[in-house]
Each structure stands twice: as C-alpha cells, then as structure tokens.
Amino acid sequence: MNLKKKATTGSNKNKKHRKIVSCQLKTRLRTDNRQPTTHMELKDKLIASFMAFEEQVDVNADLHDVRTLAIKNFEEKGFPTKKEEAWKYTSLNTILKNDFSVFPKHENAIEFADVKKYFLHEIDTYKVVFIDGVFSSFLSSTTHDGIDVCLMSSALNKPKYKMVIDTYFNKIASKDESLTSLNTAFASEGAYINIPKSKVTDKPIEIMYFSTGSEAALLVQPRNLIIVGENSHVQIIERHQSLNENAVLTNSVTEIFAQKRTIVDFYKIQNDNHFASLIDNTYVSQQQESHVHVNTFSFGGNLTRNNLNFYHFGERIESHLNGITIIGEKQHVDHYTLVHHAKPNCESFQDYKGIFSDNATGVFNGKIYVEKEAQKTNAFQKSNNILLSDKATINAKPQLEIFADDVKCSHGCTIGQLDETAMFYMQSRGIPKKEAKALLMYAFSNAVIESIRIPELKQRITKIIANKLGVKIGFDL
C-alpha cells in the first residue's frame, strides 16, 4: 500500500436488523467563526424575478404548476446553511454575497479556436454548447437523426416533446431540496438528450457550459434531461468552464433516466478557475439491469458541491460512482452521494480518491440506503484520501441505513500521507522527489482513471493530472 492508514472505519456485513451507521473521520476541523448571514438579498432578488421570468418564457400550464411549487419550496427553505446536517462542512455564505445577475444581459460569442482545448477535439463528438446560459448554435453540433441531442428550451416548448416532458421532466429530481427547486423554478435551458430503444450512440456527447464574464457576477442554472431507451448505450461528458475572472455560480440539475439494460457512462470534468463555483445536482433513475457510471473529476473551481443521487426501480442494477479530487490553495470540493437500493439483487460501487494540498478542504458524505425489499444487495463505498499539507482537511462521513437482512454493505475511509519508504525507493532509482510524488499520486488515483472508457478522455484526464502535479511525465508506455 502507498498509504499509511491513519484510520479505517469498519465494514458491515450481513445486517440482521435495521442499523444506522454513521462515522466521521476528521483530521482537522476548519474553524469558521463567521456568523451565518441570511441571504435575503439574493433570495429576494430571485423570488422577485420569478414572475418576470415566467412572462419571458412560453409556459404551458403543467410547467407553470411545477415551477410555482418549486419557487414556493425555495422561498420556504432558502439557501442551505451550515446548520443543516447535509451542509455542515460547506458554506455558501461568501459566494452568495456576490451581486449575481440572474439573467445575462448580453448575447456573447466565442471563437472556437479560443475554447477548442476544452473539447475532446481529437475525436468527433456531438456537442451541446452554452455561453452564459444561452445556447450557441455556432459551437454546437446537435442531431435529430435517430437520436435527439438538442436543447432543453425546444423540448420544453415544442408540442411534439410534450409527452416526454410530462413523463420525465422533474420526475426524479428532488422536490424537497431547495437548490434543486431553485433550478426547477427557473429551468429553461440545458441539454436534452433522448436516445430511443436499442441504439448504441456512434460518438460521445459533450455538454459544455462556458461563461464569458460579461457580467460582474453571474448565476447560471442549467437543466439537463437525459433519457436512454431500453438496450441503448451512451457516453456523455459534461464540463463547466469560466473564461474570465468574474464570479460565476452554477446551480445545475441533471436528470438521467436509464431504462432496462442500458449502459450510461457519464463523465463530469470540473477543472474551472478560482472564481467559479458549482453546485451540481444529478439524479439518476435506473430500471432493471441498467448499468450507470458517473465519474467525477474535480481538479479546479472555487467551491464545488456534487449532489449525486441514484434511485433503483428494478432488479440486477449496477451503479458506479467514481471520483478523483485533486485540489490545493483554498479550494473546496464536497461529494454528497446517495444510492437508494429499493429492489433485490442490485449492486453499487463508490470509489472516491482525494488529494488535498495547501489549505484545500474536501468532504465525502456517502449515503447508502437499503430498503427492506432490497435483499441480496451489494453496496460498497470507499473514500481514500491523501493530505499533502498540515492545513488541508478532509471530512469523510459514510452513512449506511439498512432495512434488509441479507445484504453485503461495506464502507472504508483512509486518510494518509505519501509513503516515505516508497518515495525513497523511487528516488534511489533516480526519480526526483517531485516526479516520484506525482507518480505515487497518479498511482493512487489509477483505479478510477482506468475506469474511463473513452481513450482520448483518459489521455486528457491523465494530462490534466500531470499538469496539476506540475510534472512532465507520461504515465503509461
């Protein structure tokens, strides 16, 4: 092992009775003496803009009802604060002090050459691209040929999509969680992907959100809907990228419906600059025998919160949640996951690797919920972390709630430093300290990198990691 285990939480097997396990590992608690402020200003502004917003967009009666309920929920709950258990380690206070524009005033254009590097340009892909929340047909490459890769705004407004929208829109997303409700209330644009039965998508789909910084501070709320028909396969890459040093807050909601026997690979690349924050709310609905992989690569951004929720509606489902987090300075990444096992014979695997330097803080909160009916569940959860500085922090909190009596569930968290013996071994072979460190960290996250099933993306991620670690070494031969 590369890691000296400082602490390991136990594993729980074959639960006989209901048991709630919750444990915490802390190496250092952040002292946060700031008084919680009420975010009346932004909240009021949002509620006030709601009516104006609804007048702007064409709305049918059903959508109007959905939105009204959502804004009501947001009005009641407001922005989450650290007083809530789910937000104990992540504070939005500082970010919410920005005077965010809720609707961008300008239409902005970007040259492809300037943003080419953010795309997986080595291969052909479908592209749905937004600039400051507005669709860019110039940068996009959408399709209606056999599959729908297009815009949420068309899907929400055109009658031919009404049945699909009625069936799926806001059906798996939480109606209770305030930030999701805020997004629902204002949902108007994003990617709409509908893959019919028995289709293997011929190339990956890239969903890209750019912000140009034309506003001093911008709040964007993308809304993606992804429906994958029976037996179909799809690979999707999502990225949010700010091109300027003005503040951006993205509150994104993605709903994914994986029908029977589908295979969905979803990759989230979070490598934004220090002025951009992201709250990603992703909800996955899985039918019988579907396999869904969500891989989250968090290498950048100011504050990133990933709310990733999986719900099972059939048997023999597989859910894979993988993550690599490599951050430094004062960056903050919070992974908040839920896998809801509701049917028998399903499996879920969570594998999160984190490397934290400087004053960076990380959170991993993973909840596994196993209903009484969900016998023969296999649910595994791992959170392995390396702290490279005395001031870096990780808070890891597995939560298992198990109501079935014949299940295998386990969780394990490790927090450690780089192994000195391994460092000496590598140095004694001529590999300098910095490179040895990089190689060890790459090795540490290797299991997750190996799970990337698009070779060009794998190369890209490897390159980002090498850059992040400040070395110029190839990691494979």
How far is Cα 332 from Cα 278, in angstroms, rounded to an integer?
10
Please report how close the Cβ of residue 351 comes to other proteins at its closest, in angstroms. 13
Of the pair 137, 428, the CB lying nearest other proteins is at: 428
How far is Cα 338 from Cα 400, in angstroms, rounded to an integer?
10
Of the pair 75, 435, the CB lying nearest other proteins is at: 435
Would you say 340 and 313 are in contact if contact means Cβ atoms under 8 Å apart? no
Amino acid at 110: I
Of the pair 10, 432, the CB lying nearest other proteins is at: 432
Of the pair 137, 421, the CB lying nearest other proteins is at: 421
Amino acid at 271: N
Distance of CA 49 to the CA centre of its chain: 27
3-state secondary structure of 143: strand
Please report how close the Cβ of residue 428 comes to other proteins at its closest, in angstroms. 5
Amino acid at 250: T
Please report how close the Cβ of residue 425 comes to other proteins at its closest, in angstroms. 4
Please report how close the Cβ of residue 477 comes to other proteins at its closest, in angstroms. 5
Task: Tell me the longest C-alpha to C-alpha distance in the chain.
Answer: 71
Of the pair 1, 48, the CB lying nearest other proteins is at: 1
Of the pair 145, 420, the CB lying nearest other proteins is at: 420
Residue written as token pair 């992703």: 282
Of the pair 23, 447, the CB lying nearest other proteins is at: 447
Please report how close the Cβ of residue 422 comes to other proteins at its closest, in angstroms. 5
Of the pair 8, 14, the CB lying nearest other proteins is at: 8
How far is Cα 173 from Cα 194, in angstroms, rounded to an integer?
17
Of the pair 1, 109, the CB lying nearest other proteins is at: 1
The encoded tokens of residue 459 equal 């190369």
If residue 47 lies in a helix (H) or strand (E), which one and from where to where? helix 40-56
Please report how close the Cβ of residue 454 comes to other proteins at its closest, in angstroms. 20
Residue written as token pair 């001093």: 216
Please report how close the Cβ of residue 78 comes to other proteins at its closest, in angstroms. 44
How far is Cα 74 from Cα 307, in angstroms, rounded to an integer?
17
Of the pair 16, 429, the CB lying nearest other proteins is at: 429
Helices 61-77, 40-56: axis angle to 10 degrees equals 180
Is the dihedral angle over the CA atoms 177, 178, 184, 188 positive or is it negative?
negative
The encoded tokens of residue 42 equal 């932004």
Is the dihedral angle over the CA atoms 245, 251, 257, 263 positive or is it negative?
positive
If residue 54 lies in a helix (H) or strand (E), which one and from where to where? helix 40-56
Single out the residue of 30, 174, 176 nearest to residue 90, CA to CA. 30
Sorted by sequence, the CB contacts under 8 Å of residue 30 that are 6+ apart come out as 89, 361, 393
Please report how close the Cβ of residue 37 comes to other proteins at its closest, in angstroms. 44
Of the pair 55, 476, the CB lying nearest other proteins is at: 476
The encoded tokens of residue 18 equal 């209901």
The encoded tokens of residue 364 equal 């991993």
Please report how close the Cβ of residue 455 comes to other proteins at its closest, in angstroms. 17
For the chain, the straight-line distance linking the first and the last C-alpha, in angstroms and rounded, comes to: 23
Is the dihedral angle over the CA atoms 193, 210, 291, 281 positive or is it negative?
negative
Please report how close the Cβ of residue 235 comes to other proteins at its closest, in angstroms. 24
Please report how close the Cβ of residue 441 comes to other proteins at its closest, in angstroms. 10
Please report how close the Cβ of residue 404 comes to other proteins at its closest, in angstroms. 33
Of the pair 390, 476, the CB lying nearest other proteins is at: 476
Which residue ranges make up the site for other proteins (CB under 8 A)? 1-2, 419-422, 424-433, 435-436, 439-440, 442-447, 473-477
DSSP assignment, residue 470? T
